[in-house]
Structure 1
Amino acid sequence: MSQISIEKELQQAYLEYSLSVIIGRAIPDVRDGLKPVHRRILYAMHELGNTFNRPYKKSARVVGDVIGKYHPHGDAAVYDALVRMAQDFSMREPLVDGQGNFGSLDGDAPAAMRYTEVRMAKLTSHFLADIDKDTVAFRPNYDNTLTEPEVLPTKVPNLLINGSSGIAVGMATNIPPHNLGETIAATIHLLDNPEASIEELMVHLPGPDFPTGALLYGREGLREAYRTGRGSVRMRGRVEVERRKGDLEAIVIREIPYGINKANLVERIAALVGERKIEGVADLRDESDRNGIRIVLDLKRGTVAEVLINQLYKFTPLDTAFNINMLAVVGGRPKLLTLKDALAQFLAHRREVVLRRSRFDLEKAQARAHILEGLRIALDFIDEVVALIRASASPAEAKTRLMERFGLSDAQAQAILDMRLQRLTNLEREALVREYTEVLQRIEYLQSVINNPEVLRSVIREELAELRDTFATPRRSQFLEHEPGSIDVEDIIPDEPVVITISQNGYIKRTSLEVYRQQRRGGTGVTGVQVAEEDFITTLITATTHQWINFFSNRGKMYQLKVHQLPEASRTSRGKHLANLLSLDDGEQIAAAMACREMEEGKFYFFYTRQGTVKRTATELYRNVRSQGLIALSMRPEDELVGVLEVAEDDEMILVSQNGYSIRFPVAEVRAMGRAATGVRGMQLRSGDGVVAGVVVPREGTQELLTVSAGGYGKRTPLAQFRAQSRGGMGIINMRITPRTGPVVGACLADPSDAIVLLTSAGKIIRISAEDISVLGRATQGVRLVRLEEGHVVVAFDLAPAESSA
C-alpha cells in the first residue's frame, strides 16, 4: 500500500484546478480574443448553420447544442455569455445578432432563452472563415464523441476590439474595447513595420473606444498600460446644458462610463440630492429610450450648472477609472501583454492560419491539376480510349488497361471512366483547357504565398484592409483636449464671507453675511433663524466658504468639514441637523467650532473646559481628521469642553467665567501635550461658577475685551486693566453681574471698526458696530446692546470683521 503526502497532493490538485480556470474558463486566448465558452457558442452556431444571412434560431436551441456537445456546464452560464455577445452596450462589435429582450443598461435581466432568438452577426462570419480548411487544430470534446477547435481562425483582432474581463485564481484580466478601424490600422502598421514602437502604434490606435461612448482622459496612465500591460484610463460621462424658458437650465447626461449601471447612477444622484450634498436640483428624470441615454436634471433658478456638473463628476460614478490589465493566454500560459505584444500575437496567428489554408488549397489544386492532366490525355486520344473501354470486360479491367496504355494514375483513370459524354464537345474541351490553366496559375500563387514572406504579408494586409473597409465605424469615445485635474468643487465656488449658526438642538446652516444689514446700537434686530420653541441658537461664526470648520464636541472629539459643505439656507431657515453631517455618538453635542485655513506648524490649539481645565497641543497633530472623528483631548466624566483657540507659544490667554471673573496668564505656563492628554488647571473657580469664554491677548492694536451678558448688556474694556497672573488662580472681576445683566455668555476681542452680531433665544439676530459699545472699566455692568423680549436672553455672539461689515 503506497503512501502519499496530503500537502503535495493538495498543492498539485489546486495547481491543476488553477490552470483549468485560467486556461479553460476565465482568461481569453490572445489569438481570437475569446474564452472557451464564447468560442464554443460561435462554433455551435456555425455547425447549426445559424449564420447572419439565415433565419434566427431560438436561443435555447443554441444553448442546448453548446452544453450537449462542447461545454459541460450549466445552461444559465452559457446563456449569460450568449446574451453578452448580443448586447451593443457590452460589446463594441456584437458577435451575435439577437432578437428579443437581451437586457439593458439599467441592469434588467434578459428574457428567458425560450423567448429570445439569435444568429451570428455579419462580422462573426470572419471569425470562422476557412475553419474547414485545416487552418486550426481540433481537439476532442469532453466525452470524446466530437471535436472542437482549439482556437478560431479569425481575421478579426478581437482581443482588443471587444476587450475582455475575467477573474481567475490569483490573477485577473481587464482589457478595454477598441475601435475596429483603429485597431486594424495599428495592426497593418505593425505588419509593415515590425520594429514599430508603442508610440507609433498609438498614432493609429490612440486608446479605448467604449460602446457607451463617454469622454476619456488620463493619457499617461493609458501609455503605461500599452507599454507594460497595466495602467488606467479615466472615463467621464458626456453632459450638456440645455436652456429652458424663464432663464432656467437643465443638465442632460447623454453618455455614461462603460460598465456603469444607469439605474444605479440615477439612484445615486437622487440620494445625493436628498442628502443635500448636491443642491439646486428641482427635478430628476430618466428619459432614456431606444435612441440613447437621456438623464435630465432640472435646475432651480440661480443654480450654477458648471458647479453642479463638477459635483456630479466628483460624487457619482459619472467620472470613474477603467483599470487596464492586459492578461491573455499565450501558448497555453497566461501572459501580461503590451499593445505591441497583443497585435504581434494576432499577426502570428494570421500567418499560421493563412499558411495552413494555403497548404490545404494547394493540395486541393494539385489534386485537381492531376485529374485535369488525365482528362486532357483522354481527350487527345478519345477514339482509342473509347475503343479500349468498349473492349474491356469490366470497369476494373478498363481502368487497368488505361493506366497501362497511357501511364495514368488510379485517380486519373477513374476520372476518365466517370467522365460524361458531354465533355467531348468542343466547348467542354475548351473549358477543360481553361480550367487547367487557371489551376496551374492558382498553384503557382499558393506556392508563392507559402514560400515568399512578402506575398504572405500582402495577403494578410489585403484581408485586414477589406475587413476595415467593410466594418469600421466612427469612434464613440472622444478624448478631452485638456486633461482635467482632480475635481475640486472649491475651484469654482467663490470665497465669500458667510455666517454659520448652530442651535442648541444641533441644527446648522450657512448664510451670506450680506443679508444682515448693519443697525444702530439698541435696535430690535431682524429675524435670523426660525427654530423650534424649545430650541435656540448657541454658536455663531463668521467665516468664508473656502475655510475649514473644526467642530469640537463636549466629549473632546474633533470633526472637520469645509464651509461650503455646510448646508446653505435662507436667513429664516432652520438648516440641517449636524447628525446628518458628522458621525456624532449618542448624547454628543458640538461645544465649540472654529474656522481655519490650514493647520500651521508652530501653532497650538488651546482647549478650556467648564471646570477651568486647559490644555495646549500642536495643531499639526490634528491634520488627519477621520470621518468618524478624532480624539482632541481626554475629558473627565463630570467636565465638558467649552472652547478651543489657536495660539502661539508666546501668547497670553484670558479666561472669562459666567459669574464675571477673569484670569490672564502666559500660554507658555501650559506645557504642550499630546492629543489624548487631559490638561492642567487654568482657573480656580468659585462655587457655582464655570468658564464661558477664552481669548488670546493681542501683542498690539486698538482692541478691547468685549464682554456680553445674557440680559443683553455689554461693554468694551481696555486690556491693560487685566493684569497678568499665574495660571490656576481665582482671577479678578471682569463684569459686575446683576439680575438685570444676567450671567456672562461670552467675551471676545473687538476693534472699533468691527461689527458685532448677536443672537437671542427668540432666534433674532442684531448686527451693530463695535464703536457704538461704550468703553468701561472692569467692575461695571456695561450698556444695553439689544432690547430683549420678555423671557428671552442673548445666547451667542461673534464678530463680523471690518472688511466684510460694510
Structure 2
Amino acid sequence: MTDITLSFEDHERIPLKDYAEKAYLDYSMYVVLDRALPHIGDGLKPVQRRIVYAMSELGLSATSKHKKSARTVGDVIGKFHPHGDSACYEAMVLMAQPFSYRYPLVDGQGNFGSPDDPKSFAAMRYTESRLTAYARTLLSELGMGTVEWGPNFDGTMKEPILLPARLPNVLLNGSTGIAVGMSTDIPPHNLREVVSACVRLLEQPKSTVSDLTEHVKGPDFPTDAEIITPADDIRALYETGHGSVKMRAVWENENGEVVITALPHQVSPAKVLEQIAAQMQAKKLPMVEDLRDESDHENPTRLVIVPRSNRVDLEQVMNHLFATTDLERNYRVNFNVIGTNGKPQVMDLAKLLREWLDYRMNTVIRRLEHRLDQVTDRLHILEGLLIAYLDIDEVIHIIRTEDEPKPVLMKRFNLTGTQAEAILELKLRHLAKLEEMKIRGEQEELEKERKALETTLGSRARLKTLIKKELLADAETYGDERRSRLVERSAAQPMKQEQIIPSEPVTIVLSKSGWVRAAKGHDIDAAALNYKAGDEYQHSAAGRSNEQAVFLDASGRAYALVAHTLPSARGLGEPLSSRFSPPDGAGFLYTLAGDAKRKVLLASSFGYGFVTELENLYSRMKAGKAMISLPAGAVPLEPACIDPESTSTVVCATSDGYLLAFPLAEVPELSKGKGNKLINVPPKRLKAGEEQVVGLAVVGEKDELLVWAGQRYLRMGEKDIDHFRGERAHRGRKLPRGFQRVTRIEVARD
C-alpha cells in the first residue's frame, strides 16, 4: 500500500509578510469593487443591483401586487448575494425611503421607517414591497442584449454585471460608502437638471463644468430645506469632484412663534428637539420658553419654538440654533465612482457625465444591434415561409411522403436549415390564404425597421439624437421640480455667552484673601459685607451678569470669568485660586467689569502705563494673560476707567506728594505691555523703595479729585487740578503741607 502522508516541506511555503499583504489587497479590492463604491453605469452597488434584479425576476413591477419583503430578501441572498439577510433587507429599505432616496427604487407597503428614526422599520416578514415606476429606467432594456452576464456565486445561474440604465442614476440618487483607503459621498440631484446637462453635452461635447453648472445648479436632496452654499463654492465642487455643501432648515414666524417646516437631509426632528432642550436645561437659551412637535400627516415636519416674550429677536435665536444644532448641517461631497474601465476614480461633473454618456451610447448600440439581429433573423425566416406558401402543395406532399423532409425541403427550395425548421413548425391554421398577405406586410415593416436601424447605427449624430430623445422622454415621465432650494446665506454664528445670559446689574466683590462673589445691583456697600475671619474687603467693580468679570493679580496678569458664574454675595463666595492658577505669591488685587470696548488706564507703581480696551484683558486660560510688564519691585496700580464722553485728564500722585496732571491723549493705547512713563520719579528713589507712584485717576471736566493722606483727604476741583498741569513724564508739583504723604487718589463719587 502506497504511503500518501505528506511532509511540511511538500507544501508551498510563503513568507507571512507576502501572504498577509496579498490577503489584505484581495480583501481591499473586493470591498472597493464589489461592496462599497457604485458603478458609473447604473449608479448601484452590487447588493442594490441584485435586489432590483431579483425583484424584477419575481415580477414585482410597479403595476403588480406587493409581495412580502422576506420573499425578495430570500431570493436575493439565496441566488445572488450570499450575505446576511438583515444587511440585505436594510439596503432594500433604504431604497424605499422617500426621505433617503431622491427617486426611490422600491415601493414599500408597511412600516419602512421614519425621518425620526430611519432604522425603525418593521421586520421583513411584516412589510411588502415592489419596484417603483422609476426602476423601469434601470430594467426596461435588460433583455435586449445590452449588458454582460456573469455566473452567480455558486455558478448555477446568470446575473447581470450591470443594469442598462437609461438615466445617470449615479447622480440622481447619489451614493455613500466607505471602502479601504477611499470613500464616496455623491449627493442626489434633480432629474430634469441632470438630463438638461446631458443634452448640452450631446449637443456641445466640449462644454466645460462651468457650462454644465448652468443646468445642474447644485445637489437636490429629498427635503425642502435650503442649500446655502455659495454658487462659486458649488461650481468649485463640481470642478474638483470633492468639497461640501451646507443645508439649513426652513422656518417662518407664525404669530410670534418659530415654526420649522423643513429639516436638512437625514436630520431627525426628535434629535433637533433634544439638542434645543439640552441647551434650555443648561440655561443657554433663556429666551426660549417652550418646544412642541406638531408634525402630522398633513405637516410631516412642524417643530414649534415658543420665545419667552415678543421682544426676543427670532432671527438671532435661529442663527444661534443653526450654529449649535443639526438645523444646519454640512454634507461632504466626493464623486468617487467605479468608471467604465473598472477602476475607482474621483471625477469632475463633466467627466462623470461624459463617461456615463459613453456607457449609454454603448448600451444603445448594443440594443440596436441586438434588435437588428432579431429583425434580420425574422426576415430570413419570412423569406423561407413565403417560398413555402408559393408552393404549399408541394411542401405538404414532401412533408407527408418523406421520412426526413427537412433536407429534402432545403434541397428542393434552396432553403437554410433555419428556414426549413420554421416551415416544419407551421401550424395548420397558418395555411390560410390571408397568411401570405400578413407575411408580406410584416416583411415590409421589418425591412423599413432594418434600414432605420442600419442608418442609425451608421451615424453617430443619429445615435446622439436618439439618446437625447429618450433622455427627454424619461425626464418628462419621471422628472419633477427641484425640492432643495438654493439660497445663498452667510454662515450661522452662535450667540456669544454675553448675548444669551440675562443682562442684570451686579457688583463683583473681591476680598484680600482672593475670595470673590457677585451681588445683585450696583448700590452695594461692598466693604460692609460679611467676610471670613481674618479676611476683609479688597476691591469691587460694577457690571452686568452677561459681561466678563476681569481680575488683575500682583504680577500683572489678567484673568476673566462670566459674571453670572460667580457665587452669590449671600455667602462668602469662593477662592479665585480654585478657578485660576496665578504665579506663587501673586495675590489678586483688583477687579474690573463693564462693556468689552470700555477703555481703562493701566499703570505700575514705577510710573509707566497705557490705555487699553477691557476685552484685551479677557483670557480663558487658567494661567491668565500677561497684561502689564512690571519692572522688578513694581506692582500694578488700581486701574482707572475712562469716560468716553468727557475730555479727560490723567492725574498721577507719588508717595512723596508730587502730583502731575496731563491730557489723556498723551497716553499710548496698547493691547498689553509696559507703556510709557506717566510721571517722573528719580530711579534711585524707586529702586530703594523710598518713593513710588501710589495712585492715578482719570478725571473729567466736572469731576472732583480726592487726594488721601492717611485718614485725611484734599478735595480738588478743575481749577485746583490746573495748578498741577504739565507734560507727561515730568516730575509734577508738590501738594500743600499736610498732604505730602499721599496714600491714594480717587475721583469723588457723589
Q: TM-score, normalised by structure 1?
A: 0.71
- Alpha carbons of 1:101 and 1:284: their partners in 2 closer, same or farther (altered >3 Å)? same
In the alignment, which of 344, 347, 351 is matched to residue 337 of structure 1?
A: 347
How far apart are 1:725 and its partner, in Å? 12
- Alpha carbons of 1:553 and 1:88: their partners in 2 closer, same or farther (altered >3 Å)? farther
How far apart are 1:311 and its partner, in Å? 2.0
SS in 2 for 1:103: coil
Counterpart in the other structure of 1:484: 490
Say if 2:116 and 2:270, in contact at 8 Å, map to a contact too. yes
Say if 2:661 and 2:724, in contact at 8 Å, map to a contact too. no
Counterpart in the other structure of 1:130: 141
How far apart are 1:142 and its partner, in Å? 2.5
In the alignment, which of 303, 315, 321 is matched to residue 324 of structure 2?
A: 315
SS in 2 for 1:133: coil
Say if 2:406 and 2:420, in contact at 8 Å, map to a contact too. yes
Q: Distance in 2 between matches of 1:604 and 1:270?
A: 43
Q: Distance in 1 between matches of 2:30 and 2:115?
A: 32
Say if 2:508 and 2:549, in contact at 8 Å, map to a contact too. no
One-letter identity of the residue aligned with 2:243 = G
How far apart are 1:150 and its partner, in Å? 1.9
Say if 1:44 and 1:65, in contact at 8 Å, map to a contact too. yes
Counterpart in the other structure of 1:756: none
Q: After alignment, is 216-225 or 133-142 more displaced?
A: 133-142
SS in 1 for 2:139: coil
Say if 2:36 and 2:178, in contact at 8 Å, map to a contact too. yes
Q: Distance in 2 between matches of 1:83 and 1:129?
A: 22
Map 1:406-425 onto structure 2 (within 5 A): 406-425=413-432
Say if 1:583 and 1:628, in contact at 8 Å, map to a contact too. no
How far apart are 1:83 and its partner, in Å? 1.4
How far apart are 1:222 and its partner, in Å? 0.6
Counterpart in the other structure of 2:131: 120
Say if 1:135 and 1:357, in contact at 8 Å, map to a contact too. yes
How far apart are 1:469 and its partner, in Å? 0.6
Counterpart in the other structure of 2:183: 172
Q: After alignment, is 101-110 or 376-385 more displaced?
A: 101-110
Q: Distance in 2 between matches of 1:277 and 1:696?
A: 40
Counterpart in the other structure of 1:405: 412
Gaps of 5+ in 2: 1-8, 629-634, 643-648, 676-684, 732-736
One-letter identity of the residue aligned with 1:56 = H
- Percent of aligned positions that are identical: 34
SS in 2 for 1:306: helix
Say if 1:665 and 1:725, in contact at 8 Å, map to a contact too. no
SS in 2 for 1:479: coil
Q: Distance in 2 between matches of 1:544 and 1:253?
A: 31
In the alignment, which of 383, 389, 392 is matched to residue 399 of structure 2?
A: 389
One-letter identity of the residue aligned with 1:313 = F
- Alpha carbons of 1:695 and 1:240: their partners in 2 closer, same or farther (altered >3 Å)? farther
Map 1:339-358 onto structure 2 (within 5 A): 339-358=349-368
Matched, 1:237 2:243: no
How far apart are 1:655 and its partner, in Å? 9.3
One-letter identity of the residue aligned with 1:220 = D
Q: Distance in 1 between matches of 2:451 and 2:396?
A: 34
Q: Distance in 2 between matches of 1:54 and 1:733?
A: 110
Say if 2:697 and 2:745, in contact at 8 Å, map to a contact too. no
One-letter identity of the residue aligned with 1:296 = V
Q: TM-score, normalised by structure 2?
A: 0.76
Matched, 1:470 2:477: yes
How far apart are 1:170 and its partner, in Å? 2.1
Counterpart in the other structure of 1:162: 173
Q: Distance in 1 between matches of 2:30 and 2:197?
A: 33
- Alpha carbons of 1:555 and 1:685: their partners in 2 closer, same or farther (altered >3 Å)? closer
Q: Deviations over 1:388-425 (max 9, x none)?
A: 22332x2xx21111111100011111111111222222
Map 1:604-683 onto structure 2 (within 5 A): 627=620, 629=622, 631-632=624-625, 672=673
Map 1:227-266 onto structure 2 (within 5 A): 227-243=239-255, 249-266=256-273
Q: Distance in 2 between matches of 1:14 and 1:399?
A: 60
Q: Deviations over 1:444-471 (max 9, x none)?
A: 2222232211221122112111111111
Say if 2:62 and 2:131, in contact at 8 Å, map to a contact too. yes
How far apart are 1:242 and its partner, in Å? 0.5
In the alignment, which of 420, 428, 434 is matched to residue 427 of structure 1?
A: 434
Counterpart in the other structure of 1:144: 155
- Alpha carbons of 1:414 and 1:618: their partners in 2 closer, same or farther (altered >3 Å)? farther
- Alpha carbons of 1:630 and 1:364: their partners in 2 closer, same or farther (altered >3 Å)? farther
Counterpart in the other structure of 2:682: none
- Alpha carbons of 1:454 and 1:440: their partners in 2 closer, same or farther (altered >3 Å)? same
One-letter identity of the residue aligned with 1:484 = S
Q: Deviations over 1:691-738 (max 9, x none)?
A: 9x98644499565446899x9x99778768999999xxxxx998999x
Q: Deviations over 1:472-495 (max 9, x none)?
A: 111111122x543664758x989x
Q: Distance in 1 between matches of 2:111 and 2:344?
A: 35
Say if 1:592 and 1:642, in contact at 8 Å, map to a contact too. no
One-letter identity of the residue aligned with 2:115 = L
How far apart are 1:8 and its partner, in Å? 4.3
Counterpart in the other structure of 1:592: 591
Q: Distance in 1 between matches of 2:198 and 2:589?
A: 64
- Alpha carbons of 1:403 and 1:118: their partners in 2 closer, same or farther (altered >3 Å)? same
One-letter identity of the residue aligned with 2:254 = E
- Alpha carbons of 1:215 and 1:426: their partners in 2 closer, same or farther (altered >3 Å)? same
- Alpha carbons of 1:355 and 1:24: their partners in 2 closer, same or farther (altered >3 Å)? same
- Alpha carbons of 1:622 and 1:120: their partners in 2 closer, same or farther (altered >3 Å)? same
How far apart are 1:110 and its partner, in Å? 1.5
Q: Distance in 2 between matches of 1:234 and 1:665?
A: 58
Q: Deviations over 1:521-547 (max 9, x none)?
A: xxxx6999xx999999974445899xx
One-letter identity of the residue aligned with 2:550 = F
Q: Distance in 1 between matches of 2:83 and 2:658?
A: 83
- Alpha carbons of 1:567 and 1:315: their partners in 2 closer, same or farther (altered >3 Å)? farther
One-letter identity of the residue aligned with 1:25 = R
How far apart are 1:159 and its partner, in Å? 1.3
Say if 2:508 and 2:516, in contact at 8 Å, map to a contact too. yes
Counterpart in the other structure of 1:182: 193
Q: After alignment, is 466-475 or 131-140 more displaced?
A: 131-140
How far apart are 1:31 and its partner, in Å? 1.5
How far apart are 1:7 and its partner, in Å? 3.8
Counterpart in the other structure of 2:631: none
Q: Distance in 1 between matches of 2:578 and 2:203?
A: 62
CA RMSD of aligned residues (A): 5.1
Say if 1:136 and 1:152, in contact at 8 Å, map to a contact too. yes
SS in 2 for 1:86: coil
Matched, 1:552 2:563: no
Gaps of 5+ in 1: 244-248, 517-524, 675-680, 727-731, 738-743, 751-769, 774-806
How far apart are 1:75 and its partner, in Å? 2.0
Q: Distance in 1 between matches of 2:373 and 2:274?
A: 63
Matched, 1:60 2:70: yes
How far apart are 1:240 and its partner, in Å? 0.2
Q: Distance in 2 between matches of 1:590 and 1:378?
A: 119
Counterpart in the other structure of 2:164: 153
One-letter identity of the residue aligned with 2:247 = M
Q: Distance in 2 between matches of 1:231 and 1:297?
A: 33
Q: Distance in 1 between matches of 2:650 and 2:128?
A: 83
Q: Distance in 2 between matches of 1:94 and 1:624?
A: 58
Q: Deviations over 1:274-314 (max 9, x none)?
A: 33333322211111123321010112222222222222223
Q: Distance in 1 between matches of 2:199 and 2:627?
A: 70
Q: Distance in 2 between matches of 1:57 and 1:215?
A: 37
Map 1:479-628 onto structure 2 (within 5 A): 479-480=486-487, 482-484=488-490, 487=493, 499-502=505-508, 539-542=540-543, 549=548, 551-552=550-551, 584=579, 592-595=591-594, 597=596, 627=620
How far apart are 1:629 and its partner, in Å? 4.7
- Alpha carbons of 1:725 and 1:623: their partners in 2 closer, same or farther (altered >3 Å)? closer
How far apart are 1:374 and its partner, in Å? 0.4
- Alpha carbons of 1:586 and 1:188: their partners in 2 closer, same or farther (altered >3 Å)? same
How far apart are 1:566 and its partner, in Å? 7.4
One-letter identity of the residue aligned with 2:202 = L
